[in-house]
Amino acid sequence: MSILVTNDDGIYAPGIKTLKAALEKLGTVTRS
C-alpha cells in the first residue's frame, strides 16, 4: 500500500517523522 503524508508545517516537522515511522509498518510512506 502507498501512503502519502502531508503537513503545512513542512516535511521535516517532528510530528510528520513520528507519523511516517508508525505508518511504515502498513506500507510505503511518502512525505510531501
Q: E strands of the chain, at which residues?
A: 2-5, 28-31
Predicted local confidence at residue 10, as pLDDT: 81
pLDDT tens track for 1-32: 999 998 888 878 888 889 999 999 999 999 88
Q: What pLDDT was estimated at residue 32?
A: 80
Q: How far apart are CA 11 and CA 22, in angstroms?
A: 15
Q: How many CB atoms lie within 10 A of CB 19?
A: 16
Residue pair 23/5 in contact by the 8 Å Cβ criterion: yes
